[in-house]
Amino acid sequence: MNIGRSRKGARVNVDNDKCELYGICEAEAPTLFELGPDGRLRYRRSPADEDMVLAAAAARSCPMQAIKLESGNNGRR
Ligand code: SF4
């Protein structure tokens, strides 16, 4: 899995102070979120626009409401 920043645009942020590592986000959107064997949550911070539906599903299902989404403008004004 390639997790990281890909470009400017929509953004995903997880509040580490709220996240309790339940892993529901990974179940909802395994291409965007991954609980590693070290117990840390890794996630794609700048997903493609088409993946924001998955990110939104993960955000809705997070019991801690730790996932915040920001829509980007992709450089447009
Ligand atoms: S579902 Fe929410 S609390 Fe659970 S690992 Fe994902 S971000 Fe953290």
Query: Per-block average pLDDT, block size 10, for the chain (77 residues)?
Result: 63 97 97 96 96 97 97 60
Phi and psi for 54 in degrees, rounded to 5? -65, -40
Nearest Cα residue to atom 4 of ligand 1: 22
Question: Does 42 contact ligand 1 (Cβ within 6 A)?
Answer: no
pLDDT of residue 24: 98
pTM: 0.83
pLDDT of residue 77: 45
Cα 76 to ligand 1 centroid, rounded to whole Å: 31
Cα 77 to ligand 1 centroid, rounded to whole Å: 33
pLDDT of residue 5: 52
pLDDT of residue 57: 98
C-alpha to C-alpha distance for 24 and 8, rounded to whole angstroms = 26
Going along the chain from its start, the domains and CATH numbers come out as 11-70 (3.30.70.20)
